Amino acid sequence: VKLPVQLNTRMNVAKSAYRVFSANSSAACTELAKKITERLGVELGKSVVFQESNRETRVDVKESVRGQTIFIIQTIPRDVNTAIMELLVMAYALKTSCAKNIIGVIPYFPYSKQCKMRKRGSIVCKLLASMLAKAGLTHIITMDLHQKEIQGFFSFPVDNLRASPFLIQYIQEEIPDYRNAIIVAKSPAAAKRAQSYAERLRLGLAVIHGEAQCSESDMADGRHSPPCVRNTTGHTGLELPCKQQAPFPGIELPIMMAKEKPPITVVGDVGGRIAIIVDDIIDDVGDFVAAAEILKERGAYKIYIMATHGLLSADAPRLIEESAIDEVVVTNTVPHEVQKLQCPKIKTVDVSMILAEAIRRIHNGESMAYLFRNITVDD
């Protein structure tokens, strides 16, 4: 039976339709979603996300999503666990409502620092990836993962966008005399990211080396203890107390030498320069404040901090305001309007443009390569 032309056209439209939802219950967290939908020229999907009196998360989708591709934009506020639960519940609600594809737009991926085994802990980032897949997500768009290898935790595609083009543009347009600047890594671990900025801006590179205190990873956790060998008597069968000894009698395993932290030094000349410290996340600002003081002592006359995700927890605004830091520049992957009111040194760069373009390209089945042009393996 041949369908009428009008009905057939409606079916084609429905097949290619997509909707954009926000899974945040907080109004402050929906600002990025509104900017993205404005750029896309679509309306934000109708849904209600709220917390019950006992703090349970409830999601009510107010329109049909059957057979459609759905994008869920979820920005992560200070209440990380609530935001994760909102995302999981909404994804599962859309899955059970017969959505065709459910794509999560998570600019800042939470728990990304817990992506390695620490002592007897767990790799929480892997757990979260499994939970998102189970809830129904089929694809994720994120930005500047703490470690690129996190993409391997997922059983579905992950697009890890970069914020560096926007931050580099800010440096070129908003920092006077940026040609007299030097890019600084606050630790050797951040040197690769700093090198990427330095090479693109044709600037010098400096690295802060050494620590004033022992890091958690260097604390003894008991793993070097020799195994427990139990001695038992033959005639009574009673087990004697555990006795610590070497694995094999007469053999001693080589012991790893303990690390000795050198005094804090700056590798590179920052005298008379503008120092620009780059990193992916700025949360506890203690390290950044200490780095700024060292750079000031070495002769830097202005200090900028550039980071993708401005979590700025606890007393971060006050500490920044009282420090030698002149300006902190972050993107709007994480809402921080309250922190900006507390500290005028905090500036924001809008990245909704690249997120909207990623959504458009994925929906239309276009290549994402354009968004990763000139991005190398080390970036």
What's residue 253's pLDDT?
A: 77
Judgement on whether residues 175 and 144 belong to the same structural domain of the protein: no
Residue 115 inside a domain? The answer is: yes
Residues 154 and 185 in one domain: no
Contact 96, 88 (CB under 8 A): no
| CB atoms inside a 10 Å sphere around CB 166 | 17
Q: Are residues 59 and 102 in the same domain?
A: yes
Are 84 and 109 members of one domain? yes
Question: Would you state the torsion angle of the CA atoms of residues 192, 193, 194, 199, taken in this order, to the nearest 10 degrees?
Answer: 80
Domain boundary, last residue among 97, 126, 161: 161
Q: Look at residues 275, 304, 296 and name the one whose alpha carbon lies nearest to residue 180.
A: 275
Shared domain check, 58 and 69: yes
What pLDDT was estimated at residue 210?
81
Per the document, the length of the chain is 379
**In this structure, are 133 and 115 located in the same domain?**
yes
Asked if residue 252 is part of any domain, the answer here is no
Q: Which residue has the tokens 């992506």?
A: 115
| Same domain for 186 and 140 | no
- The pLDDT score that the predictor gives to residue 246 is 53
Per the CB < 8 A criterion, the answer to whether 57 and 86 are in contact is yes
In a domain, 377, yes or no: no
Q: What pLDDT score does 167 carry?
A: 97
Q: Provide CB contacts within 8 A for 2, sequence distance 6+.
A: none
Q: 228 - beta bridge partners?
A: 244
One domain for residues 73 and 189: no
Q: Do residue 103 and residue 177 come from a single domain?
A: no
pLDDT at 250: 66
10-residue averages of pLDDT along the chain (379 residues)? 42 61 88 95 94 93 95 92 96 96 96 88 94 97 94 95 96 95 94 94 94 50 50 50 57 80 88 96 93 95 96 93 97 94 96 96 94 83
Q: Nearest CA to 154 among 112, 192, 113, 92?
A: 112
Q: Is residue 51 part of a domain?
A: yes
In a domain, 87, yes or no: yes
pLDDT score, position 10 = 38
Q: 108: domain range?
A: 19-161
Q: What is the CATH number of the domain that holds 38?
A: 3.40.50.2020
Among 94, 127, 161, the domain-final residue is: 161
Verify that 60 and 190 share a domain, yes or no.
no
Provide the pLDDT for residue 4: 45
Domain count for the chain: 2
Same domain, 176 and 64: no
User: Of 133, 161, 189, which residue is a domain's last?
Assistant: 161
Q: Within a domain: residue 118? A: yes
- pLDDT of the residue at 28: 80
Residue 45 resides in a domain: yes
Whether 186 is covered by a domain: the verdict is: yes
> Are 181 and 49 part of one and the same domain?
no
